[in-house]
Structure 1
Amino acid sequence: MYVAVKGGEAAIANAHALLADRRRGDRSVPALRLDQIVEQLALGVDRVMSEGSLYDCELAALAIVQARGDMIEAIFLVRAYRTTLPRFGYTKAIDTGAMLVERRVSATYKDLPGGQLLGPTFDYTHRLLDPELAAGGDVAEPLQRASEADAMPRVSAILAREGLIEPDGDMSQDHIPGDITREPLEFPMARDIRLQALSRGDEGFLLALGYSTQRGYARNHPFVGEVRIGEVELELDVPELPFAVPLGSVRVTECQMVNQFKGSAKAPPQFTRGYGLVFGQSERKAMAMALCDRALRATEFGEDVVAAAQDEEFVISHTDNVQATGFVEHLKLPHYVDFQAELDLVRRMRAEHDARENAGRAEEKREAAE
């Protein structure tokens, strides 16, 4: 507890009360309800769920309110709550190929099986403030609702039929995925562990790294093979039953980046993959994750590690915003003893420096007088 301030615990209690007062704001304005946040600030809720690694819309909305809109603080709250929950088991790997797709776009093929599905996106909007929203205006209904989409094979599967893209992963069938919430990180790490860390990494940090790979700080020439957003079903194997039990569905965003690879002594020229998967609708995060995933596979393809985005220890050790927050914000805590020690050291060094300066000037004057 932060008690090394004037007033001690009483001051802290007052700080908490003031925080609660500022969080509520003007009492003449109706308080936010969690369902309003879930429905109308859904992308913020999705980010908190993804980086907090807990899929619960209402808890994420509660964290956003409690944090006064500070997204990283909200993520911290969700992470802390997550540690209190019991672990019943692991669901089966989700099948994104069977996703109930809401949005699906590809930058590699104009006409592809299943078609392009624009879905809800800012991509085609003008970045102009809409005064009608401020007035609480009704939202126009879509002119034509999209019908049920046909089967949507992945773009990577199309390239795989021609043998033009690397196989999808090299994990053995009996490989047991790691769990970064239960096991400490060790370098170098398997790709499944690395993807977990990237999935709940800070969106801004990953976006900056992904951007750097496109500006020449890694040999990356990416194409968005596909971005898809939609609902996937979760299933859990129960020992007493001969079949998997459906638990419900979650919304996820998946991105497969297709990257040019000129080949090596071990592999022919082909396309390689970068992969991103996150909770909710967050294609910017999924795309940045896919760019970083491919950059971090540099040694796997015999490429030189020359950029920050290719350095596994650098990327994974700094992508977690909760850990980063702890290291940065702990500087606000009392460091009186440490500072006094450094203050004394600087004073001694300054005194020695001034003594040398004075001695030098005295020597110069003596030489001038002679």
Structure 2
Amino acid sequence: MYVAVKGGEAAIRNAHSLLADRRRGDRSVPALRLDQIVEQLALGVDRVMAEGSLYDRELAALAMKQARGDMIEAIFLVRAYRTTLPRFGYTRPLDTAAMKVERRVSATYKDLPGGQLLGPTFDYTHRLLDPALAGDAPQDEPMQREPETASMPRVSDLLGEEGLIEADGAVPAGAPVADITREPLEFPLERDARLQALARGDEGFLLALAYSTQRGYARTHPFVGEIRIGEAELELDVPELDFPVPLGSIRVTECQMVNQFKGSSKAPPQFTRGYGLVFGQSERKAMAMALCDRALRAAEFGEDIVAPAQDEEFVISHSDNVQATGFVEHLKLPHYVDFQAELELVRRMRAEFEAGQRDDLREAAE
């Protein structure tokens, strides 16, 4: 046993060395710098921050580099680092209505107060590879454009003025807010905890569930009320001061989904809401989150739970890619004792089965 352990340690050290060598790659190619990753692979950095639950672009870039571009491994690294950080307090609720908007689109109103801002998006690009990006093309002059600060009322507020959409959820002052990074999940969840879990859930998993709701596997008919991307300011209340202290701003993507609702004996016909908010520019994730949020509110509206996207325990228990990765990839680790026990059991059962067949043949011959 001692020899096996020592042999395993040596193999692991060699694997680490080989990993570092492969990570660096061809030495004739310049090594990637973190600022290059932050500036030129920004959407990947945003995903690592969002699903890693830590807003730090440089650390997210470092994790991407260390993970050789494996996004889930990078998210795992960021989560692990996050657990070492102390908790100093909680900021005030983020006022996304006051964000400096860079992109703002609505699929419900063509002309709305504040206008539509397309911003940086792939939505209107041709999906054709651009050979110019493969070489050292001449550098274009950077665009100088300040984020929009004009008043932009929410689409949901416009509908709310006519009483055509459910009231936005209000949290009583001083009410405790869930923190799923500090407290274990207990089903059923309150909506704040559920939204936290969705915010750091795997984008691909949530996208598949959101897609399923549009194909009839949940009771939704969604419209994108509004998507906003921009900078929102963080403020912290300090007990010794009678005013909030600004900590800086973070880039977020917010999606408010408008869904149909026929009403009930207690509620008039009106639209309902689905909500998504994530770090960085990640509107696909924010939209998927909003669709899943609405689907998971089925019980709240007295709707039948008939689809996977409406099953809270199923969705939340399987949305975390770090947990999912650990559970799947642990199968690569040694299971020698377990397998040998099952192997011996199968051999014994097989021998008993074959002995029974021989007895049956003997009885049939007699």
TM tier, shorter chain? over 0.9
Name the CA shift for 1:183/1:210 in 2 (closer, same or farther; >3 Å). same
- Per mean C-alpha deviation after superposition, the further-off stretch among 262-271 and 201-210 is 262-271
1:214-265 CA distances to partner (integer Å, 9 max, x unpaired)? 0111011000000010000001111111100111000000000000000112
User: Structure 1 residue 147: deviation in Å?
Assistant: 7.7
The one-letter amino acid of 2:91's match is T
User: Structure 1 residue 139: deviation in Å?
Assistant: 5.6
Q: What root-mean-square deviation, in Å, do the aligned CA atoms of Structure 1 and Structure 2 show? A: 1.8
**Hey, what does 1:96 align to over in structure 2?**
96
Query: d(CA) in 2 for partners of 1:231 and 1:245?
Result: 17
* Preserved contact between residue 255 and residue 286 of structure 2 (Cα < 8 Å): yes
User: Structure 1 residue 98: deviation in Å?
Assistant: 0.3
Query: d(CA) in 1 for partners of 2:335 and 2:270?
Result: 55
**What does 1:323-342 align with in structure 2 at a 5 Å threshold?**
323-342=323-342
User: Structure 1 residue 146: deviation in Å?
Assistant: 7.7
SS at match of 1:224: strand
* Preserved contact between residue 106 and residue 225 of structure 2 (Cα < 8 Å): yes
User: Structure 1 residue 349: deviation in Å?
Assistant: 1.7
Identical-residue share of aligned pairs (%): 82
Query: d(CA) in 1 for partners of 2:148 and 2:81?
Result: 38
Query: d(CA) in 2 for partners of 1:364 and 1:6?
Result: 57
Query: d(CA) in 1 for partners of 2:134 and 2:364?
Result: 74
Name the CA shift for 1:17/1:231 in 2 (closer, same or farther; >3 Å). same
Query: d(CA) in 2 for partners of 1:185 and 1:4?
Result: 39
1:169-227 CA distances to partner (integer Å, 9 max, x unpaired)? 14323322110111110000100000000000000000000001001110110000000
User: Structure 1 residue 118: deviation in Å?
Assistant: 0.2
SS at match of 1:251: strand
The one-letter amino acid of 1:259's match is N
**What does 1:73-222 align with in structure 2 at a 5 Å threshold?**
73-138=73-138, 140=140, 148=148, 150-222=150-222
The one-letter amino acid of 2:305's match is V
The one-letter amino acid of 1:7's match is G
SS at match of 2:272: strand
Name the CA shift for 1:142/1:28 in 2 (closer, same or farther; >3 Å). closer
**Hey, what does 1:60 align to over in structure 2?**
60
Query: d(CA) in 2 for partners of 1:110 and 1:141?
Result: 32
* Preserved contact between residue 296 and residue 311 of structure 1 (Cα < 8 Å): yes
**Hey, what does 1:262 align to over in structure 2?**
262
Query: d(CA) in 2 for partners of 1:142 and 1:59?
Result: 25
Query: d(CA) in 2 for partners of 1:213 and 1:361?
Result: 57
Query: d(CA) in 1 for partners of 2:333 and 2:300?
Result: 43
User: Structure 1 residue 140: deviation in Å?
Assistant: 4.7
The one-letter amino acid of 1:125's match is T
* Preserved contact between residue 4 and residue 334 of structure 1 (Cα < 8 Å): no
Query: d(CA) in 1 for partners of 2:74 and 2:142?
Result: 33
SS at match of 2:225: strand
* Preserved contact between residue 180 and residue 196 of structure 1 (Cα < 8 Å): yes
Query: d(CA) in 1 for partners of 2:257 and 2:274?
Result: 5
1:99-119 CA distances to partner (integer Å, 9 max, x unpaired)? 100000000000000011000
* Preserved contact between residue 101 and residue 147 of structure 2 (Cα < 8 Å): no
Q: How many residues of Structure 1 are paired with residues of Structure 2 in the alignment?
A: 364
**Hey, what does 2:30 align to over in structure 1?**
30
* Preserved contact between residue 274 and residue 291 of structure 1 (Cα < 8 Å): yes
User: Structure 1 residue 5: deviation in Å?
Assistant: 6.6
Question: What TM-score, normalized to structure 1?
Answer: 0.95
**Hey, what does 2:281 align to over in structure 1?**
281
Query: d(CA) in 1 for partners of 2:104 and 2:174?
Result: 31
**Hey, what does 2:292 align to over in structure 1?**
292
Structure 2: which 5+ runs fail to align? none
1:281-303 CA distances to partner (integer Å, 9 max, x unpaired)? 00000000000000000000000
Query: d(CA) in 1 for partners of 2:45 and 2:19?
Result: 22
**Hey, what does 1:347 align to over in structure 2?**
347
**Hey, what does 2:244 align to over in structure 1?**
244
SS at match of 1:84: coil
* Preserved contact between residue 155 and residue 226 of structure 2 (Cα < 8 Å): yes
Query: d(CA) in 2 for partners of 1:243 and 1:173?
Result: 17
SS at match of 2:271: strand
Name the CA shift for 1:313/1:356 in 2 (closer, same or farther; >3 Å). same
Structure 1: which 5+ runs fail to align? none
User: Structure 1 residue 33: deviation in Å?
Assistant: 0.1
* Preserved contact between residue 102 and residue 148 of structure 2 (Cα < 8 Å): no
SS at match of 1:261: coil
* Preserved contact between residue 5 and residue 11 of structure 1 (Cα < 8 Å): no
Question: What TM-score, normalized to structure 2?
Answer: 0.96
Query: d(CA) in 2 for partners of 1:361 and 1:220?
Result: 62
Query: d(CA) in 2 for partners of 1:58 and 1:282?
Result: 18
Name the CA shift for 1:55/1:145 in 2 (closer, same or farther; >3 Å). closer
- Per mean C-alpha deviation after superposition, the further-off stretch among 166-175 and 333-342 is 166-175
Query: d(CA) in 2 for partners of 1:23 and 1:316?
Result: 33
The one-letter amino acid of 2:27's match is R
